[in-house]
Structure 1
């Protein structure tokens, strides 16, 4: 009975997430951005490989996936921020969260169901994007890059899922989707504060947005971290932040 109830709750949260227009922005961005980057940068990448300045050739097919993870970040934020939006003009102070908690007052269970629904959606998104990106890279660059390792592809998808859960956890903690998403996107695509910190101390390489990339890339900054170690550290970060977010969510008023 409990198992069936949890399955129904996950399905409900998945439907709710797919009903949000902003979630579809995240989905489409995650699916399109990486393959598009492969096509746009094909000429420059080919020249860099031929001139020997491209770094590890085995990373070439996986590097574009970095831009696609923005979609996973958006999905993680929207899964929470949508609960704090107004339900309509007739009741501007009423929020979706009130209705959600009326239907499911057990908050820890609600947090878990949202996390599972988000993980499933990001995993599917990541798998489709990874396959499309790797195949397209092989078509465009041919023998210039080695065949993609399926294990690394799976690790990349797992990284997407963990980053989606990370943004979900941070939004639970701060209850502000705009601030959370802005910080995550700027840190991921404009100027990485975490990367700058690695120039100050090598311990910064173990921050979640840096260490996770070691799960599927061979060359990430100046610190070498084994893929398994990177995965365990990244999982520990996400688990700790999810625990804190769930604890705060349980104690706050709706």
Structure 2
């Protein structure tokens, strides 16, 4: 628990982590608010009839937050500690204090999961409450299982970014790839147009835990979708842990 508390303080002490916290928490409610006039017109005109995913779809934008948090919890260790000693990194001091690398990774993982889970729960509650205030009873309140699915999706996305950062020992590469894939052009979604196997990629499968109305090429139950994404994350985390354990600091 002391290690977890230390990693929590370290994570929350990073300026970049606060960028992730603010973006992840504010983006989805902001998009929900900005889209409200269009949604009202679409409901009134009858062009938008399936409201089951309203409010939940916008939470995908907030994934920028967990991605940033997942990356910086690793990349912060590889940042130079000062201009006077350019070769020195935070990781050297961390491993001096905690030589047991697996214990260190376990504490980092726990701290990341706790922060992202709280962030996801707060953001989801804010976005869904805003939907109810803006659109009223005509929008159904999602079942608790779908809300749990959102929180799990955010946590697994953060762990995915964390695992890739562990493997690459770099913050820019995983963050650029994940942000481009989730905001600019979804390579995963494009691949579903080429092969049905792309439906089992982590980001596509994970969305099935709470999205119901989207056109997916393969039918997948929410529990199955969660297991698929968890398997991806577990495999990448295992690879990252092995590399972290064997590499020099």
Instruction: Decide whether the 8 Å contact of 2:4 with 2:108 is kept in 1.
Output: yes
2:3 paired residue number: 9
TM-score (norm 1): 0.95
| Cα distance in 2 for residues equivalent to 1:197 and 1:214 | 16
Aligned partner of 1:31 in structure 2 is 25
Deviation at 1:247, TM superposition (A): 0.4
Task: Provide Cα deviations, 1:158-183, integer angstroms capped at 9, x if missing partner.
Answer: 11000000000000011110111011
- Partner of 1:56, secondary structure, is coil
Task: Please name the residue that 1:73 is paired with.
Answer: 67
Q: Does 1:227 align with 2:195?
A: no
Compute the displacement of 1:216 (Å): 0.5
The residue aligned with 1:87 is: 81
CA contact (8 A) 2:52 2:213 kept: no
Q: Aligned ranges for residues 36-75 of structure 1 at < 5 Å?
A: 36-54=30-48, 56-75=50-69
Is the 2:23–2:65 contact (alpha carbons within 8 Å) kept by the matching residues of 1? yes
Measured in 1, the distance between the counterparts of 2:74 and 2:95 equals: 13
Tell me the residue number matched to 1:115: 109
Which whole-Å deviations, capped at 9, do the CAs of 1:128-170 have from their partners, x for residues lacking one?
0000000000100113311222221111011100000000000
After the TM superposition, which residues 114-193 of structure 1 pair with which residues of structure 2 at under 5 Å, given as runs? 114-193=108-187
2:101 counterpart of 1:101: no
Matching of residue 238 in structure 1 with residue 229 in structure 2? no
For 1:210 and 1:55, the matched residues in 2 are separated by 24
Distance 2:147 2:43 in 1: 21
Point out where structure 1 has 5 or more consecutive residues left out of the alignment. Answer: 1-6
**Deviates further, 21-30 or 103-112:** 103-112
Q: CA deviation at 1:19?
A: 0.2
Change (3 A) 1:187 1:200: same
Give the TM-score of the pair, scaled to structure 2.
0.97
Q: Is the 8 A contact 1:86 1:92 kept in 2?
A: yes
8 Å CA contact 1:213–1:220 kept in 2: the answer is no
1:4 counterpart residue number:
none
C-alpha separation in 2, matches of 1:198 and 1:47: 31
**C-alpha deviation, 1:26, in angstroms:** 0.2
The gaps in structure 2 that reach 5 residues or longer are none
Cα drift, residue 78 of structure 1: 0.3
